[in-house]
Amino acid sequence: MSYARPHAGVHPVTHLWRKITVTDLGFSSATRVENGKLLIDKGELTALLRSDPNIKDVQLTIARPGDPVRIIPVKDVIEPRLSRIPGYPVFPGVLSAWDPDSDGIPSGEIVSLCGMVVTTVGSIVGFQEGIIDMSGPGARYSLFSGMHHLVLDISVKEGTERHEHEKSVRLAGFKASDYIARSSLDGPLSSGTLETLYNPADPGFHGSGQSGGRKRVPGIAYLYMLQSQGLLHDTYYCGVDVKKMPPRRIVPTEVLFGAIVSGNCVSACDKNTTYHHQNNPIILDLLRGHGVDWDFVGCVITNENVTLGDKQRSSTQAAELIASLDPDGVIVSKEGFGNPDADLMMNCSKIEAHGIKTVLLTDEFAGQDGASQSLVDSHPNADAIVSTGNANEVIVLPPMERVIGDDRVITELAGGSNKCRLPDGSVAIELQALIGSTNQLGFERISSRFK
């Protein structure tokens, strides 16, 4: 039995998502997609990236699924995309000026190059960066092992301050992604798969009973917690550091256009790279089931703070925004661990105080034996939690034939130690060091079950 989309007279923001699959990468004299292979003008892209005054050199390298390759220390992973909406670019506010309080995002088309990513590495900025293994046991813990990578190995000039170092590498990834998308997708397109995504037309309305033979479906909201603790722990919405913003509602499909991007060096296991934001599975699943299995009544983004006062203020504002959507239930995801656990529990308790049920997604740091306290904070109403894995679990990674980046820093990564290198060249390291292994948006294979 179908459920009609609410308020037939209201036109929701609708986005057509065209996905063009890339089956291989290579270098050529002109950037283009040819028979599924993305060819990249190495000289042109390198010159573009070297225009940053902080960047000393850039090496472009290709890594393919199954290669005996380790990429380290990874800073960000990005999927190239092109906006076909005039006036609304990809990465709004990052590569071009954009006011998040303007008229908002109109309906239109977004095009993705799927199956390949731009990945940034280089000298370590903060110890909370990570590893992607393209084969071996580590590959099981990362969806990125199944993708083709254009790796930007970036070195910065002597004396570059850490925050400027992070910014230059971050922007290089966005510039490369934008260059690839514009060069290969800017023109008439007839290939690829198409998906239409309907955003909620009226976030304050959801089915409240049976009407005209249509079934009642629950109203579901999403509270999207973004890392914003500063000190290389930052996330950006339309170019604005979210620690400078109060909680706010967003049009869910804004994530497809890179409205939310990573700028942090938090532990690799639960870091949301820009790719994770671009392909947030919670948002996509809620949109795909909207009006059929549930009403997706809206998405609220909120920050993760350092001080108690800021945590209290943001969690109160976030709970009030969620309550204004009048949902039956709320999904809450977070990024990072430790300090953000307190934000998670405040958000949970204050939303539940409005009479709204919550489901929380979080990973655990329960010690290498799994016997320690999983979260640093809790609340009696946090009784519906989905675990995305124990980041302290140890995995042994064999040596790889080739390293892109610098594996000497492996002992410095969160999850590593000065004793993690084994005599045979293998590395015994916590899952914490693997990019996305316990991602709290539900991307990876680790989950939980009752016995």
Which positions are annotated as active-site residues?
265
Determine the distance from the C-alpha atom of residue 128 to the mean position of all C-alpha atoms in its chain, rounded to a whole number.
Answer: 16
Q: Encode burial over 325-360: b for 16+ CB neighbours within 10 A, e otherwise.
A: bbbbbbbbbbbbbeebbbbbbbbbbbbbeeebebbb
- Please give the structure tokens belonging to residue 321: 């925004």
Q: What are the strands, taking DSSP E only, across 208-325?
A: 219-226, 233-237, 240-241, 248-250, 260-264, 295-303
Name which of 372, 374, 394 is nearest 448 in CA terms.
Answer: 374
17 half-sphere exposure, CB direction, 13 A CA radius: 22
**DSSP symbols for 308-346:** HHHHHHHHHHHHHHHHHT--SEEEEE--SSSHHHHHHHH
Cα–Cα distance, 392 to 336 (Å, whole number): 14
Helical (H) or strand (E) element with 185: helix 162-185
> What sign does the CA torsion over 436, 437, 441, 443 have?
positive
CA–CA separation, 41 vs 197, rounded Å? Answer: 33
Taking each continuous run of H as one helix and of E as one strand, the counts in the chain are: 6, 25
> What letters, b where the CB count within 10 A reaches 16 and e where it falls short, cover 116-125?
bbbbbbbebb
